[in-house]
Every structure is written in C-alpha cells, then in structure tokens.
Structure 1
Amino acid sequence: MQWRRPSSSPPKKAKVTQSSGKVMLSCSWDCDGIIMTDYMEKGKKVTGEYYSGLLKRLRSELARSRRGKLRSGVMLLHDNAPAHRARQLRQLNGAASKFFHILHTRRIYLLFPNLKNPIRGPRFEDITDAITAVEAWFQAQSDTFYSQGLLKVKDRWKKCITQLGDYVEE
C-alpha cells in the first residue's frame, strides 16, 4: 500500500517470471574427479530403493572408470538421511559390495559450497541449462581441485574427532 492522489496513475509492478524449479544432484567423486552425477527427476523423493539403485549404478561406473578400486574397498561419506540408513542399503552392503559407509552429521564436504558460487547469479531458462552449467563447472576444475578437497575433508575429520563431534568452523 502507498499513499497517492486519486487522480494519479497506479504504480507499475514488475512482472515476475516463473522459476524453472529445483533439481537435486547426487554426485560421486574421488581425488581424480567426478565419477558419476545423478539429477533426480522433478517431483521424485529420495527413498531407500532410489538410493540403493544409485549405489548399484555407482558400483558399475566404478568398475568401468576406476579399475581396481572396488577390490580394495570404497568408502562412501554421506549424511544420516533416512534413505542412507534404509533396509535396502543394508542389504546392498553385503560382503561382495566393498562399500564402506561413513555417516556424518556435520557439513564437511567442500565440493558443493564451491559449486554454488558460480551458478548462484545467472537465471537459467530451464533445468537442462542449469545442469549444463554444473557439468561445465565440474569439467573446468583443475587437476588438483578434487584431491585438495579430499585432503581438506581429512583435516576437518581430525578437527571433528579432537572436538568430540562438536561443530567445526571452516
């Protein structure tokens, strides 16, 4: 509301365009770079079934692109969301899977905060434009970006352990 004379014209309003929405990215990476990305379809939810299917695809991708890693075992670091603790995941994590799951409750990843900055400003026409920008950002990172990021995670783990799980500043 604003004060105006009865004879004055109504105020101009900016036209708001509809957002193309959000899309959830699940990303698997190691010191050599991105292993696999998965962009969840709009309207779907992360369930135990969805997440175990994602891990099966990750296992296949690891066997294809990172020869020998599955034999020595793979550590997965993820939060303690219900889907990550689901029955399907426990069944998948049998002796043959070679996946070792580490749950955490604090943000210690360094990939996503770095990713958010360059894609925060531009307005994308649709989801495919946003996905293209994210994939281009992944490709543009230096050879040492991912390995340095994992070393920082290791340092943050040590801080978390010495502080007995209390909050760790960046």
Structure 2
Amino acid sequence: MSTRSGDPRESTAKQQASLRRLAHILDTAIPLPGGYRIGLDGLIGLIPGIGDLIGAVFSSYIIGQAYQLGAPRMVLLRMGGNVAVDTIVGVIPMFGDLFDFAWKSNRRNVALLDQYLANPRKIKRRSTALMIGLTIGLVAVAIAIVYAVIHLLVWVGTSLA
C-alpha cells in the first residue's frame, strides 16, 4: 500500500493504526460497569455453532495484514496460535464465552505486530523460541499420554489374567 507521499513508513503507520482500531472494536469497544471492556468478537462468539468461526475470520484479517507488512512465519504462527486458542476454547459452552471476553486475541496480535515492527530480530527470536517450546511441550504430553495408555492396558491385562 502506498500513500500520496510515497513514504512506506507512513503507509505502515496507517495500517497499524487501522489494525489497532479493528482490534479495539473486536476486543474492547464496549465498556462495562467496573471498568472492564468487551468487544464484538466476544458478542459474536455467543452465536451458537458459528459465532467463534466468524470471529476467527475477522481475526485472520489481522494476520493477513501482518503478512503483508512482512511479519515472518514464526510471528504469524504465534498470531495464529492466539486465534486458535480463542476459537477452540471459545466453543466450550459458557466457559468459552467468558474466555472469549478475556483472551482478546486481536489486541494481542496487533501488539505483537507492533513489537515486531519496532524490533524485528528480538520478536522473531522470541516467537521462534516460544514455538519450539510449545512443540516440545506438545510432543512431551503426547508421549506421556501414550505411555500412560500403554501402562493402563498392561495393568488391565494383568488384572484380568
């Protein structure tokens, strides 16, 4: 995207401001008593069956803009993880709806993009480390589950014999 002045930094700043406004609308535009704020994403998530998917589509727009602004794969994966958590947990009745109001994945992702644009090396390194750590953690959990199932089956087999 170019502006009349042709300055790419001005264009980037305008895109960032636009994404901040969108994240505000989706996550914090509606004030509640007590100082808490919710957004349209949480309200849309209340629609049974498709609400969380509609919210994920809006959230994907922010990730697409981050891609256009040059965010690397690891940062985009981290942003996608924020949306995935929001979407997956959001489908749990009652708890998911409350979680939707608190998680605010869009604001997280815009903040992550802002941090990346301000300090690309640092955020890319942190995102890579986080994704590697999560992968190792998920593999460890999967191994523990397989180990537990095998031992449970052995125990059941020896108990029945």
**TM-score scaled to structure 1, two decimals?**
0.32
Larger Rg: 1
Structure having the higher strand fraction is 1
Which structure has more RCO (C-alpha within 8 Å, separation ≥ 6)?
1
